[in-house]
Amino acid sequence: MVSVPHIRLNNGVEIPQFGFGVFQIEPGEVVTAVRTALDAGYRHIDTAQMYGNEEGVGQAIRESGVPREELFVTTKLDNDRHGRDEAAAALDESLARLGLDHVDLYLIHWPRPAQDRAIGVSNFQIPHLERLAAETGTVPAVNQVELHPRFPQEELRAYHREHGIATEAWSPIGQGGDLLRDERLAGLADKYGKTPAQIVLRWHVELGNIVFPKSVTPSRIR
């Protein structure tokens, strides 16, 4: 099995740097996709309440036979569930759908300025992170944002490094569009005997980003 590097978060938790994302995978397809990923050696799964596929993710985990302690599972708080009591209830609902007694990381999916409170966050920019720290004294362990070579988020990544926040990249290969047809990537892929997607993913790994490529095609998942 491939050895996946881990990153130590600012609270001491270790997170696999390479994970499998299930954004835009339909509930009817997600069980097979996640099973394929787990069979291929992925041990980090990233889902969200908003994706509507937590039940399938949980089913795939159970069917895989992979021990829970070997997995790192992330889900995210939906936008209409902000606030202490609502967030706690939403987490309980996610756990029920997943069939798990805990998740390893729970993120605010998008900032809502009147309500943003949590440890892990998603799609926060520097002003949101600064307000979170100022009002709560909390520096999040991770911030999951759109990030790829055409949208490198250099200023935000520098802020993360300065404050000990791990950077997670969603849409790490630009949703498989024009980015993967870039001539420079094609040249590098030919030079190293890799695919353009693999070149981009290595770019993320070398930067220290945590990445979640997504596919429903078994060969691409592997």
pLDDT tens readout for residues 193-212:
999 999 999 999 999 999 98
Q: For 119-151, give one letter per residue: b (16+ CB within 10 A) or e.
A: bbbbbbeeebbeebeeeeeeebbbbbbebbbee
Average pLDDT, the chain: 92
Q: Residue 214: its pLDDT value, please? A: 85
Active site residue 51: yes
d(CA 6, CA 9): 9
Q: Which residue has the higher pLDDT, 16 or 118?
A: 16
217: exposed, middle or buried (C-beta count within 10 Å: 0-12, 13-18, 19+)?
exposed
Q: Residue 118: its pLDDT value, please? A: 47
Q: Residue 113: its pLDDT value, please? A: 67
Residue with tokens 């949703």: 175
Any idea how long the chain is?
Answer: 222
Kindly report the CATH number that applies to the domain delimited by 6-221.
3.20.20.100
pLDDT tens readout for residues 80-109:
888 889 999 999 999 999 999 999 999 989
Which one of the listed residues 51, 106, 159, 192 is annotated catalytic? 51
> pTM for the full model?
0.75
